[in-house]
């Protein structure tokens, strides 16, 4: 599996028993003063292999253009005004052999890690790729804001497990938000504080959850400003340009292979390198040789090698999306250009962790059709694998690709069930009925509006039945029911969640059109969207006729039924076990190491963003510390340190010289802080991510 393993401590710069002077013995005497005087960032050992192995655009002409016959274009990052660190991830920087404290104390650190100043050995470039966006081939896309800086050699003393997971021996580093590239289209190549903090925090959160992901080493902000219309409401405001440092073995993606696509039958667009088949072969060779060397070595036949590679990508993708589903993570924009060839979570945009469980959860407010909803993710990843297979043809024969694709569903289900059994503490036996138990759990969570993260976390507190237990059974079920009902939605929350988002008159018009003019209806809407609106109306009608007491009684009944089934299954776990107490302790340990106490909910990220926009970066750093240990409680880190308030001044002063922008989002929190492991506060319903 392609994730980076346990968090590293600070990597040693020098191997044991080897002095710095001995290592510098290869440096000429007249260069020694320069070598010793250089900072850690200036001493990074770059080996930019991908620019040697794959074709680079010979033109360095500035501006947006179609790039033919090349995988990369050389670019010049645009400097920021007064760049400064918002936060760094010491674990991510350690991958490069860097010490976080040394980096933050380096006066040039923010310049180097924002692309404002180019490090020695760095060769800034932007990657050319295409993609299917929301199901339609979009033609050339590419790194419109990201900038490849180079590949840093793995430092001495790095964890051997990382070398197994990243066999290339190099870490590719990017800066995202460093300015215009040939692929910026109509944008400016910049990112702002909001999106940069979200990407930084979620990249690291996913790593510490044990989910394959790219990493984020730092966030830098500046005095440079760009105009953004936050809510697309016609009220733009100035925001600070900010940059994230991203780290991965490679950022190549499914869409990297789509630059050779012939004209699409629906959109008419084609890849910029259509007809240049030799480049596809070069890219395939590079990816397999560098990142799948065991496949390269064990398959001398080229076709068999390519099939084995595609099967491994399929397996990694299936495992990845199974892990997403098991923590309630929704990516939001699962286009083919956002799918990693290494099975990593890639490109954090309008993502979201579910609060109240809803299989139809859509985290991206721009996804009107629900194409990338939570429940759709496994199927969408399979669809994207089909598009990758098409892009690899004829290097990957169609019939062989289809056979691999046919394995996907079983592969996903295997990973999903394996993970869900751990979440439920079912460790000793695998029973066919487990799937029914899991399905019933999710149905009960949905019907009662249960919080996804907190409900799963609480399951470890439900006791296993003792042998011959009868009198205590009723009390145990009652206690467990009270425990889980506490995580269910209130009547007001359910009413809010089930309020139709479409005007009743518009809905009535579309329903009429679906009957009278189906072809026109299909052009402006879809049946799934209408069905969701009707379902909301139906549920809201029932809720309007329900009291809070009736709701709680109904929720308790549903949970009592499921808990009774669950405890019977737990009893079977203990059958034949000589040390029952050891089994119970193992169950609690595994569950508490699988079900996180804290995830990066939108309200947690928003709180950190608002603090940073008010000049206080400490909340970003504090949230990072919390996310680094998502499965355990951290005394002193239970609550946010920064809390905005409605109608009153924020606790932190804005940075000197920064004006309050008209139309900016007002601090959206009540004065009392909400714990990081809490259900979202009421104000979180207003958060809209696009």
Predicted confidence (pLDDT) per residue in 313-355, tens digit: 999 999 999 999 999 999 999 999 999 999 999 999 999 999 9
Between the CA of residue 62 and those of 50, 73, 78, 351, what are the distances in Å?
22, 10, 12, 32
Q: Which residue has the higher pLDDT, 556 or 11?
A: 556
Residue 35 binned pLDDT confidence (cut-offs 50, 70, 90): low
User: Beta strands 56-57 and 72-74: pairing type?
Assistant: parallel
Chain centroid to Cα 311, Å, comes to: 23
Whole-prediction pTM value?
0.90
429 vs 27, higher pLDDT: 429
CA distance 145 to 243: 10
Residue 42: pLDDT band with limits 50, 70, 90: very high
Residue 11 pLDDT: 36
The span from the CA of 381 to the CA of 84, in Å, is: 38
First to last CA, the chain: 30
Q: 3-class SS at 466?
A: coil
Q: Is the pLDDT of residue 631 over 60?
A: yes
Q: Are strands 130-133 and 136-140 parallel, antiparallel or unpaired?
A: antiparallel
Q: What integer is the mean pLDDT of 567-586?
A: 94
For residues 49 and 283, the answer to whether their CB atoms sit within 8 Å is no
Q: Does residue 375 register a pLDDT over 90?
A: yes
The whole-number pLDDT of residue 644 equals 58
* pLDDT score recorded for residue 658: 39
pLDDT of the residue at 657: 36
pLDDT for position 223: 98
The pLDDT assigned to 676 comes to 96
Q: How many residues does the chain have?
A: 690
Report the pLDDT value the prediction gives residue 196, as an integer from 0 to 100.
Answer: 98
| Mean pLDDT score, 108-119 | 98
Q: Say if residues 601 and 680 touch (Cβ distance below 8 Å).
A: yes
Predicted local confidence at residue 368, as pLDDT:
86
The closest alpha carbon to 124, from 188, 46, 68, 14, belongs to: 46
**DSSP string over 206-274:** HHHTT--B-EEEEEEEEEEEEEE-TTSSS--EEEEEEEEEEEES---BGGGGGGGPPPPTTT----TTT
Pair type for strands 136-140 and 125-127:
unpaired
Q: Check residue 504 and give its pLDDT.
A: 87
Neighbours of 520 (CB within 10 A): 11
Catalytic residue among 57, 106, 159, 337: 337
Q: Tell me: pLDDT of 98 over 90.
A: yes
Is 212:344 a contact under the CB 8 Å cutoff? Answer: yes
Average pLDDT of the chain is 90
Cα separation, 602 vs 9, in Å, equals 29
Quote the pLDDT of residue 526.
82
Q: Which has more pLDDT, 648 or 118?
A: 118
Give the pLDDT confidence score for residue 400 in this predicted structure.
98
Write the pLDDT tens digit of every residue in 606-619.
Answer: 999 999 999 999 99
Give mean pLDDT, residues 182-190: 96
> Rounded distance, CA 669 to CA 646, Å?
6
For 121-130, what is each residue's pLDDT tens digit? 999 999 999 9
Q: Are strands 170-176 and 237-248 parallel, antiparallel or unpaired?
A: antiparallel
Q: What would the DSSP string read from start to end of 350-402?
A: S-EE-SB--TT----TT-TT-TT-TTTHHHHHHHHHHHHHHHHTTTS-HHHHH
Over residues 230-251, the pLDDT tens digits come to 877 888 999 999 999 999 999 9
| β-strand partners of 353 | 329
Answer whether 8's CB lies under 8 Å from 159's CB. yes
Per 3-state DSSP, what percentage of the chain is helix, strand, and coil (rounded to 5)? 45, 10, 45
**Residue-wise pLDDT tens digits, 636-677:** 999 998 765 433 333 333 333 333 333 334 444 445 789 999
* pLDDT > 90 fraction of the chain, expressed in percent and rounded: 79
Q: State the CB neighbour count (10 A cutoff) for residue 633.
A: 12
Asked whether the predicted pLDDT for residue 29 surpasses 50, the reply is: no
DSSP result, 424-443 = HT--S---TTHHHHHHHHHH
- Average pLDDT, stretch 367-384? 96
Whole-number pLDDT of residue 532:
86
Helix (H, G, I), strand (E, B) or coil at 173: strand
Residue 185 contacts residue 64 (beta carbons within 8 Å): yes
Give me the pLDDT at residue 468, please.
Answer: 64
Share of the chain above pLDDT 70, in %: 90
User: 3-state secondary structure string, 124-170?
Assistant: CEEECCEEEECCEEEEECCCCCEEEEEEEECCCCCCHHHHHHCCCCE
Cβ-contact 677, 643 below 8 angstroms: no
Instruction: Look at residue 36 in the predicted model and tell me its pLDDT.
Output: 59
The reported pLDDT for the residue numbered 418 is: 98
Distance, in Å, from the CA atom of 124 to the CA atom of 74, rounded to the nearest integer, reads 6
Q: What per-residue confidence (pLDDT) applies to 249?
A: 98
Tens of pLDDT, residues 457-500: 999 999 998 776 666 889 999 999 999 999 999 999 999 999 99
Kindly list the distances between the CA atom of residue 38 and the CA atoms of 84, 95, 122, 150, in Å, as whole numbers in the listed order.
20, 20, 15, 19
The closest alpha carbon to 283, from 244, 246, 309, 265, belongs to 309
User: Averaged over 557-582, what is the pLDDT?
Assistant: 96
Known catalytic residue at 337: yes
φ, ψ (nearest 5 deg) of residue 371: -55, -40
pLDDT(25) > 60: no
Give the 3-state secondary structure of residue 62.
coil
């Amino acid at each position: 599996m392609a994730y980076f393993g346990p968090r590293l401590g600070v990597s040693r710069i020098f191997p044991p028993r080897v002095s710095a002077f001995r290592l510098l013995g290869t440096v000429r005497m007249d260069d020694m003063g320069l070598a010793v005087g250089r900072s850690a960032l200036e001493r990074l050992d770059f080996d930019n292999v991908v620019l040697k192995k794959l074709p680079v655009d010979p033109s360095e002409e500035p501006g947006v253009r179609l790039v033919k016959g090349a995988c990369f274009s050389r670019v010049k990052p645009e400097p920021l005004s007064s760049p400064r660190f918002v936060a760094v991830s010491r674990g991510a920087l350690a991958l490069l052999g860097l010490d976080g404290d040394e980096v933050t104390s380096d006066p040039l650190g923010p310049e180097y890690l924002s692309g404002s100043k180019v490090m020695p050995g760095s060769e800034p470039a932007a990657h050319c790729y295409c993609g299917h966006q929301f199901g339609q081939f979009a033609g050339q896309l590419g790194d419109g804001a990201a900038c490849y800086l180079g590949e840093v050699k793995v430092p001495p003393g790095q964890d051997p497990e990382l070398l197994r997971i990243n066999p290339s021996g190099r870490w590719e580093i990017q800066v995202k938000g460093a300015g215009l590239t040939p692929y910026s289209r109509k944008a400016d190549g910049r990112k702002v504080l909001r999106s940069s903090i979200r990407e930084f925090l979620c990249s690291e959160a996913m790593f510490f959850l044990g989910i394959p992901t790219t990493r984020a080493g730092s966030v830098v902000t500046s005095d440079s400003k760009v105009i953004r219309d936050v809510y697309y409401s016609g009220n733009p405001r100035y925001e600070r340009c900010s940059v994230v440092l991203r780290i991965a073995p490679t950022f190549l993606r499914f869409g990297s292979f789509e630059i050779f696509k012939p004209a699409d039958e629906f959109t008419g667009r084609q890849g910029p390198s259509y007809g240049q088949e030799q480049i596809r072969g070069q890219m395939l060779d590079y990816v397999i040789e560098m990142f799948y060397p065991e496949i390269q070595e064990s398959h001398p036949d080229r076709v068999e090698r390519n099939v084995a590679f595609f099967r491994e990508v399929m397996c990694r993708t299936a495992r990845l999306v199974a892990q997403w589903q098991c923590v309630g993570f929704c990516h939001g924009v699962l286009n083919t250009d956002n799918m990693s060839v290494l099975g990593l979570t890639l490109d954090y945009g309008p993502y979201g962790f579910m609060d109240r469980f809803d299989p139809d959860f859509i985290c991206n407010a721009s996804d009107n059709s629900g194409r990338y909803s939570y429940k759709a993710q496994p199927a969408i990843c399979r669809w994207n694998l089909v598009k990758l297979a098409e892009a690899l043809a004829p290097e990957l024969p169609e019939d062989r690709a289809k056979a691999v694709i046919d394995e996907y569903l079983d592969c996903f289900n295997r990973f999903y069930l394996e993970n869900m059994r751990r979440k439920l503490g079912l460790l000793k036996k695998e029973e066919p009925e487990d799937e029914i138990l899991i399905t019933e759990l999710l149905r009960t969570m949905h019907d009662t509006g249960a919080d996804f993260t907190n409900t799963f976390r609480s399951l470890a507190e439900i006791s296993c039945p003792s042998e011959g237990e009868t009198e205590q059974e009723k009390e145990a079920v009652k206690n467990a029911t009270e425990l889980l009902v506490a995580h269910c939605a209130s009547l007001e929350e359910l009413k809010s969640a089930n309020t139709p988002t479409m005007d009743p008159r518009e809905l009535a018009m579309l329903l009429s059109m679906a009957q009278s003019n189906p072809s026109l209806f299909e052009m402006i809407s879809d049946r799934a969207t209408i069905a969701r609106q009707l379902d909301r109306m139906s549920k809201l009608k029932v809720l309007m006729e329900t009291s809070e007491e009736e709701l709680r009684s109904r929720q308790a009944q549903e949970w009592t039924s499921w808990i009774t089934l669950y405890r019977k299954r737990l009893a079977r776990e203990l059958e034949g076990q000589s040390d029952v107490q050891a089994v119970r302790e193992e169950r609690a340990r595994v569950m508490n190491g699988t079900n996180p106490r804290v995830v990066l909910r939108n309200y947690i990220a928003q709180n950190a963003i608002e603090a940073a926009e008010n000049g206080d970066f400490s909340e970003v750093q504090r949230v990072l510390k919390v996310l680094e240990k998502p499965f355990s409680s951290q005394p002193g880190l239970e609550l946010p340190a920064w809390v905005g308030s409605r109608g009153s001044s924020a606790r932190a002063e804005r940075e000197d010289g920064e004006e309050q922008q008209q139309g900016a989002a007002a601090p959206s929190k009540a004065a009392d802080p909400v714990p990081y492991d809490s259900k979202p506060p009421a104000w979180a319903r207003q958060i809209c991510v696009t």
